[in-house]
Amino acid sequence: MSVTINGEPVTKGRSTIAFPYSDLSDAIRIAEGLLKGGGVAMARDQLAAAMSAAPGSGSFNQKVNTARIFGVMDSSGGKYQLTELGFEIADPARQREAMITAFLNVPLYRKAFEEFKGKRLPPRPHGLERAFETFGVAPKQVGNARLAFEKSARLAGFFPNGDEDRLVMPFGIANAAPDEQEPIIAAAVGTAVGTGIATAGGNVLGKPLEYQLIDLLDRGGISADVEAAIWTLVRFLKARNE
C-alpha cells in the first residue's frame, strides 16, 4: 500500500510523518503577513510583498509550507488565507494558547509529546533524532526536524523554566484525571476573575464548562493574560470532549 503525506506519494528515503523544516516563529510571521494584508485571501505575490520577501525564493516557500503544517493558513484556488487558528496566533491576546494548539497540530510533534509525556526526552542530539527516525522521519532529515522541534517547543512553552529535558503541557491541568480537571479550572478561573464558577457533572447551569467560560469572556473587564489563559482552557475542554 502506498503512503502519502499531505497528498504527496512517499518514496523510499522520504519521511512518512509530516513536520516543518522551520520553526513555529515562521508560521507566526506568515499569519502576521496575511493579517497585515487585510486578513483576506491573498495571491502568492501579494503575501510575499506583505512580508517583504521574494515570492519565488526557497525561504518564502519554506515559511509557507511551515505555516500550513502548523495549521495557521491554508490555500484554495491559488490563494493563501488564514485559518481560525491563524487569526488567533496573530492576536497577542490569544497567541499563547494558539501556539500550544499549533505545536500539537504537527504530526511529528504530537507523536513526540504523546510518546514522551511524563518521561525524559532521549539525549540530544542523537537519541532524539533516532526516536524521530522510528516515528517516520527520513535519516537525512532528522537533524533539521530536531532543531525545528526544539525551537518550536521552546516558543510554545513546552520547556518551562528553562528545563528542556522533558515536554510539559503549558498549563497545569493536563496531568489531572478527567473528573478532576473541571473543578481545577473552575477554581482557578474564579480566583483570577473574582467570580465563582460551580461545576456539576461537567455542566454549569445546564451548559458545558467551556461555554460558560466563553460567556465569562463576553462580560469584558478581564486582563489580556487571564483572557489568554481562559482561551487555552476552552480549547483544552473542547479537544477533550471531541
User: Do both 78 and 112 map to the same domain?
Assistant: no
CATH assignment of the domain containing 49: 1.10.10.10
Confirm whether 56 is domain-assigned.
yes
Neighbours of 197 (CB within 10 A): 19
Classify residue 6: in a domain, yes or no: no
pLDDT tens-digit readout, 105-125 = 999 999 999 899 878 899 999
Burial label, 101 (beta-carbon count in 10 A; 0-12, 13-18, 19+): buried
Same domain flag for 230 and 213? yes
Q: How many CA atoms lie within 13 A of 195 on its CB side?
A: 11
105 and 67 fall within a common domain = no
Q: Is 61 contained in some domain? A: yes
Q: What's the average model confidence in pLDDT over 81-93?
A: 92
Q: Do 74 and 110 fall within a single domain? A: no
Q: 147 and 112, same structural domain?
A: yes
CA distance 74 to 158: 25
Whether the per-residue pLDDT at 182 is higher than 50: the answer is yes
Residue 105 lies in a domain: yes
Q: How far is CA 203 from the centre of its chain?
A: 27
Give me the pLDDT at residue 12, please: 53
More confident residue, 173 or 131: 131
pLDDT of residue 238 exceeding 80: no
What is the tens place of the pLDDT at every residue in 32-85?
A: 999 988 889 999 899 988 888 888 888 899 999 999 999 999 988 889 999 999
HSE toward the beta carbon, residue 51, CA cutoff 13 A? 27
pLDDT at 10 over 70: no
Q: 81 and 49, same structural domain?
A: yes
Least confident span in 6-20, 27-41, 180-194: 180-194
Identity of the residue numbered 20: P
- Domain contains 127: yes
C-alpha count within 13 angstroms, C-beta hemisphere, residue 13? 1
Residues 158 and 115 in one domain: yes
Residue 160 is predicted with a pLDDT of 74
Does 59 share its domain with 109? no
Residue 9 lies in a domain: no
Number of domains in the chain: 3
Give the separation between CA 188 and CA 209, rounded to whole angstroms: 13
Count Cα neighbours of 205 within 13 Å in the Cβ-side half-sphere.
7
**Domain region containing 57:** 24-89
Is 6 a residue whose pLDDT tops 50? no
On whether residue 151 sits in a domain, the answer given is yes
Q: Is residue 139 part of a domain?
A: yes
pLDDT at 204: 44
pLDDT of the residue at 7:
43
Q: Which residue bears the cell 511551515?
A: 66
Q: Which amino acid is at 47?
A: L
- Cell of residue 107, nine digits: 504530526
